[in-house]
Amino acid sequence: MTTLDEAAAWDMLTQAGAYLQGHFLLTTGRHSNQFFLLSRLSEHPAWLWRWAQALAARLEPFGAKTVVGPAVGGIIPAFAVASCWQDSRMLFAEKDTNGGMVFKRGFQIHPGEAVVVVEDAVTTGKSVAEVIQAVQQAGGVVSAVGAWVDRSQGPLQFDLPFIALLRVHHVPNWEPEACPLCHQGVPLSRPKGPTSVNRER
């Protein structure tokens, strides 16, 4: 199967706990009633495989056999997409102490190598832009970017074809003072924190 319909995709996200509804503190400091924990989709490899095949099919026309993901969120998606293709390679880039992304662990891009960058979710595109830069510095050529979910609410920090299986552009969010859930006294949670102290739902 190389397609994934939107209803099935949402169903898997919800069942996996990768899409939460409640009252959440975002990394920006704002509050929201929705939260994505896309790593949780990877808890179900058979489901993730369907996403990977759908994304791989849509990225295939860009002609790259090398898939690069930003650590940590992009590692499993990049690996899963690369596994759909014969003779592919998969690498990941990591945060540098200077703030950008670099290849470590002996990973190397060959001069002129065609690459697609794959991430779990793209919000501003900052990590993806840093990976693109790392690939370009190594002499590679990024032809497209893929993600499970496009969560952008404005212009992205990269200018390349971008394929996302789901597009979610209107997640409500508020400054804490203006948050209706705070006014209703709904407990605030921080879903990305340690599981032992932040039980979800």
Using CB under 5 A, list all residues that contact Zn ion. 31, 179, 181-182
Report the distance separating Cα 99 and Cα 92, nearest Å. Answer: 16
Compare residues 34 and 143 and give the one whose CB is closer to Zn ion: 34
> At closest approach, how far in Å is the CB of 181 from Zn ion?
4
Report the distance separating Cα 83 and Cα 48, nearest Å. Answer: 12
Compare residues 34 and 88 and give the one whose CB is closer to Zn ion: 34
Report the distance separating Cα 108 and Cα 34, nearest Å. Answer: 38
> At closest approach, how far in Å is the CB of 171 from Zn ion?
14
Compare residues 85 and 174 and give the one whose CB is closer to Zn ion: 174
Report the distance separating Cα 192 and Cα 184, nearest Å. Answer: 23
> At closest approach, how far in Å is the CB of 154 from Zn ion?
22
> At closest approach, how far in Å is the CB of 127 from Zn ion?
26
> At closest approach, how far in Å is the CB of 187 from Zn ion?
10
Q: Are 24 and 33 in contact (CB under 8 A)?
A: yes
Two structure tokens written together for 176: 């804490």
Compare residues 48 and 181 and give the one whose CB is closer to Zn ion: 181
Compare residues 112 and 185 and give the one whose CB is closer to Zn ion: 185
DSSP-based three-state secondary structure for 7? helix
Three-point CA angle 122, 123, 129, nearest 5°:
65
Residue number of the CB atom closest to Zn ion? 179
Report the distance separating Cα 107 and Cα 112, nearest Å. Answer: 15
